[in-house]
Amino acid sequence: MVLDWLPSVLIAATLLLAVVGAVRRISLWRAGQPDQVDLIAGLMAMPKRYLHDLHDVVERDKYMSKTHAATGGGFVLSIALILLVHLAGIDSQILAWALLFALALMFVGAIFVLKRRMDPPSRISKGAWMRLPKSLLAFSSAFIILTLPAAGILPEGTGGWVLTLILSAVILLGLGEMLFGMTWGGPMKHAFAGALHLAFHRRQERFGGGRSTGLKPVDLTQNGQTLDILGVSKPKDFKWNQLLGFDACVQCGKCEAMCPAFAAGQPLNPKKLIQDMVVGLAGGTDAKYAGSPYPGKDVGNAKGGPDQIITNGLVDPETLWSCTTCRACVEECPMMIEHVDAIVDMRRFLTMEKGDTPNKGAEVLDNIIATDNPNGYSPASRVNWAADQNLPLMSDVKQADVLFWVSDGAFDMRSQRILRAFVKLMKAANVDVAILGDEELDSGDVARRLGDDAAFQSLAKRNLEILSQYSFKTIVTTDPHAYHCLRNEYGDFGSDALEGVDVLHHTTFLNQLVQSGALKLEAFSGGTVTYHDPCYLGRYNGEYEAPRELLRSLGIEVAEMERSGFRSRCCGGGGGAPITDIPGERRIADMRMEDVNSTGAELVAVGCQQCTAMLEGVVEPRPEVKDIAEILVDQLIEEVH
C-alpha cells in the first residue's frame, strides 16, 4: 500500500503531542498546594475505583452507564490494540480481530452518545461537547477500515493512496480529539484528569463505599505565626489534587440539575463554578463555556489565572454565598468532584482575610465569638429551656449512659418543643441521660460553613475540653448539624473525649429504643405523611433508614417525595444560607414545600430543627411540619402509676 506509513506516523505524532500536553497539564495542577496522597497506591486502586465507585454513580442513569461502558471501554481497548497493530506493526489476525471488535463496540457506544446529543437536556454543556460523538464515530470508523486489511477481510493496499489519504484525514480528526484533545483541554480531558483524580482524590476514604463529609481544618498557624493567607484566594491556593479534580469535570450538569440554589434562581451553578475553577487554574476567560450560566449572570465576563484572586473577576462572592452546603452536587457527581470543599475554602478567604461575610454574617460571627451562640443570647441562659424538665447536669452527676447534646435549639422556642418531646420520650424509656447545661457551646457548624474556621476550631476545642471531663457511652442530639460536627469534624483536634463514644442522631437513638421495646407507641391515625431527609443527616451521615423505620413503627406508610433519600432537596437552611441570604427568584423552602404537596401529604416529618424552621416559614395553607420526636410523643402510651 502506498503511503502505508502515514497512519502510524500520525499515531506516533499525536501520541507525542499528547504526552507534551499531559506534562503541561500536570504542571498546572502542581501549581496547587501539596497534599498527602499515596501516589502508587492510588494508581493501583484506580481501575477498581473506576469500575466500582465511579460506575456506581453513573449506573443511576442506565442509558448513560451502558453508553459510557461501550464507548469508554471500547476506546481504551482500541487504543491499546492500535498501538500493537498499527504502531508496533505486530502482524496478528487475532489482534486485528480483537481491535475490530473493540472499535465496533466503541462505534455502537458513539451512536448512542450521538443520539443523546440530538436533543440534549439543558443541564449538559454544548459547544465542543457537541462534536465529541462525531469525533468518536470518526475515530472508530476510520480505524475499522484501516484494520480490515490486517484482519484479512480486505486485501492489503485496497483503495490505494487516495483512500489512505482520506482515511488519514479522518484518523487525524479522531486522534486529534481523542489523544491530543485529552491533554490539551478538549472534552476528552475528563478521561485523563478523571482517571488521575480517582487515583489521587483528596478524600480517599470515599472509595469502597466509604463516606467522607467532614470539612478539612485550616492550618491557622505555622511555627506560631499566622499563615500569610487563610483559605483560598487564588487557584494556586487549592491543594493540587483539588485542581486536578476540577479538571475532571465532564460538564454533565447532574450537579446543576440537583442544586437547590440554581433551581431557586440564585447566582450559583455548581457546574459553571467548577468550569470557572478550570479557567482559573489554566488562565483565560469563560467565553468558551457552553452550558447554563449562573442564574442572572451573563457568560463571557469572567477572567482568571492561577495567580489572580478568584473573587476579583472570576467568581462573584454572591455565587459562593448562595451555596447551602447540601452536598447534592457532590453526591451526584460521577467524577467525585468536591464542590462544597472548594466553596468553603473560598469563603474562608472572604471571611478570615477580607472580613466580607454578607448580610447578617458578620453579626452572627461576632455573636458566636462573644457568646458561643449565633444570636448573642446570654451564655448563662442556655439551660433556661429545661427549667421544668428535671434533667441532671453533667457537672453534677459526672457520668451518664447518654449525654444529650441540646444544641442552639435551646434558645429557640419552636426548637424547644422538639427538645421537650425528645426528653419526654427518653424519660418514658427510662434512659439514664444528662445534659451539659450552660457548659455546652455552639457546635461551630455555622461559623465553619461561613468560613470562620478560627471560630469553629476554638469552639470545637473548648467543647471537647468540656466533654473530656465527663463519662458517657452515647451522645445524642436532635440537631443534624451538631451531629455532623461531633461525629465527623471534631476528630481532627487531637482529643480523646469522643473516643469509643457512639455519636447518634435522635432518630437513630429513638429507633433503637422502639425496636428494643423500651417505648410503647400506638398507631398513628392522621392522614398521609411524607418525610424530608435533612442533608446533614442523610447525605452527610448516611442515615436514611432510622427515621423511616420509626414512622413505619407507628403504622405510617411514608408517601415518598420524588426527591428523597440521597436525592433529597435541601430546605435552604444549611451552610449559613439564611444568614447570608443571597436573593434569588424563588425560595428554596417554597420549592421543597411544593415537593411535599405533590405527595398529597398532610404532615411532613422532619428530623432537624433547621429544616423545621425553614419549612414552617412557608406561608400557609401548607402541610403541618413536625419533628419525628414530636410525632412519636403524641403516640406515646404512658404508663399510669
Partner 1 sequence: MQPEGKRQVQDHSLDRSLDIVSLISIGQHPQSGRVRRAEQDGRAVELGMNLAEKHTVLHAGDPLQQALRSYAGMGLSEVQVLDLGPRADAVPALVEYLQDHRPDIVLTGVRAESGESSGMVPYLLAEKLNWPVVARVADIVSVENGVAELLLALPRGQRRALKVPLPFVATIDNAAPEARQSAYGPGRRAQVESLDAVIEDDQTRSDWVEAKAKPRPKRLKVVKAKTAAERFKAATAKPQGESGKVLKDMPAAEQAREIFDLLLEEKVIS
Q: Which residues bind partner 1 (CB under 8 A)?
A: 220, 226-227, 229-230, 351-357, 361-362, 365-366, 369-372, 376-379, 452, 454-455
Smallest distance, partner 1 to C-beta of residue 470, A: 23
Smallest distance, partner 1 to C-beta of residue 498, A: 26
Closer residue to partner 1, CB minimum distance, 225 or 430? 225
Closer residue to partner 1, CB minimum distance, 21 or 576? 576
Ramachandran category for residue 562: left, alpha or beta (phi over 0 → left; psi -120 to 50 → alpha) = alpha
CA 633 from centre of chain: 35
Smallest distance, partner 1 to C-beta of residue 252, A: 36
Give me the helix-helix angle, 93-118 and 62-82, nearest 10°: 150
Closer residue to partner 1, CB minimum distance, 230 or 259? 230
148 φ/ψ angles, rounded to the nearest 5 degrees: -50, -45
Smallest distance, partner 1 to C-beta of residue 370, A: 4
Bridge partners for 226 per DSSP: 221
Closer residue to partner 1, CB minimum distance, 309 or 333? 309
Closer residue to partner 1, CB minimum distance, 338 or 372? 372
Smallest distance, partner 1 to C-beta of residue 354, A: 6
Closer residue to partner 1, CB minimum distance, 136 or 365? 365
Smallest distance, partner 1 to C-beta of residue 489, A: 18
Interatomic CA distance for residues 632 and 638, integer angstroms: 12
Smallest distance, partner 1 to C-beta of residue 311, A: 10
Look-up of cell digits 511555627: 223
Smallest distance, partner 1 to C-beta of residue 514, A: 40
User: How many distinct helices (H) and strands (E) make up the chain?
Assistant: 28, 11
DSSP 36-83: ---HHHHHHHHHHHIIIIIHHHHTTSHHHHHHHHHHHHHHHHHHHHHI
Closer residue to partner 1, CB minimum distance, 230 or 629? 230
Let me know: does 516 contact 553? Beta carbons within 8 Å: no
Dihedral of CA atoms 414, 559, 123, 203 in degrees, nearest 10, equals: 70
- 288 DSSP assignment: T
- 221 DSSP assignment: E
Smallest distance, partner 1 to C-beta of residue 232, A: 13
Closer residue to partner 1, CB minimum distance, 3 or 369? 369
Closer residue to partner 1, CB minimum distance, 169 or 370? 370
E strands, 551-631, are: 603-606, 624-627
E strands, 288-366, are: 303-304
Burial of 370: CB neighbours in 10 Å, binned 0-12, 13-18, 19+: exposed
Q: How many residues does the chain have?
A: 641
- Rounded to a whole number of angstroms, the CA Rg of the chain reads 28
